[in-house]
Structure 1
Amino acid sequence: MMTVESTLSLLKAYHEAWERGDQEAGIAFFADELVVHMGGDGPLAGVYTGRDSFVRDWIGRVADYTDVWEVNGNDTLLVGDDGVLLLVHETWARGDRSVTTKRLGYYRVAGGKIVECYFSDMNQPEVDAFFGGLT
């Protein structure tokens, strides 16, 4: 059983991987049966079921579309037995355009893996517009 301490430790290691740009290490924290709920109305919004789907259809598309993808830390907002709510700081750039967001991320962890996430950007319309050309 995951404790609050072990969940926080796992999420710390997960975010450290993303902050150093090591997507492969970050992806290793996802359970095979991962479910991700992405907020917004843009081309990346929706529910992704399964790690492979999320990696291919969200992470892969974002990585291919952007020239820069930086994760610049996070703030722990709430911790409970059922999950952790973080405020994640991210920046994306493509050519001369960029967007920086504070993303609310709720993470549910089980069996030492991230099994479910909900994400919503504090400036969702701006993020949706930035990714508007994504197909």
Structure 2
Amino acid sequence: MNLAEKNRKLINDYFYAWSQGDVATGESFWADDFVAYQAGHSKFAGQFHGGKDLHERWVKPLLEMCDGRWVVLEAPQIILSGDDGVVVIATESMERDGKEKIVTKKLVVYTIENEKIKTCRMYDGDQGAIDDFWN
């Protein structure tokens, strides 16, 4: 298996963990010096340094606001897989009290180093709708 195939498998395994609601396993894919970027203008937009930062300022409050109704719906659609990363379209469903359910297709660009996700850049297809949902 070449490096691009290994990276594709890693991302599919990563998404599988999230689709099962397994936060701990999902977060175990992140490198120690992991950095994530979320596009937009909502309270969840910005840059996150390290898994703990992303967990505390993005994952945990998102799960609390959705009361567990944030779901990765399917395996990612892999657009590009190379030796240093993977580009996917991810489909997520979110519900929260006082808001209509929203399904989003998100472009996510991952860089991978030493079999860990080093960076993650997330861009929702309808960023305005996502920003409205979270605000």
What corresponds to 1:113 in structure 2? Answer: 116
* 8 Å Cα contact 1:19-1:72 kept in structure 2: yes
2:83 matched to 1:81?
Answer: yes
Superposed displacement of residue 112, structure 1: 1.2
* 8 Å Cα contact 1:34-1:116 kept in structure 2: yes
What corresponds to 1:102 in structure 2? Answer: 105
4+ long deviations beyond 3 Å: none
How far apart, CA to CA, are the structure 1 residues paired with 2:82 and 2:115? 16
1:60-75 mapped onto 2 (5 Å cutoff): 60-67=60-67, 68-73=69-74, 74-75=76-77
Instruction: Give the letter aligned to residue 129 of structure 1.
Output: D
How far apart, CA to CA, are the structure 2 residues paired with 1:59 and 1:88? 16
Question: Scaled by the length of structure 2, what TM-score is found?
Answer: 0.92
How far apart, CA to CA, are the structure 2 residues paired with 1:92 and 1:113? 27
Q: How many residue pairs were aligned?
A: 131
Superposed displacement of residue 96, structure 1: 5.1
* 8 Å Cα contact 1:32-1:52 kept in structure 2: no
Instruction: Give the letter aligned to residue 86 of structure 1.
Output: V
Question: Scaled by the length of structure 1, what TM-score is found?
Answer: 0.92
* 8 Å Cα contact 1:37-1:46 kept in structure 2: yes
Instruction: Give the letter aligned to residue 76 of structure 1.
Output: I
How far apart, CA to CA, are the structure 1 residues paired with 2:87 and 2:119? 12
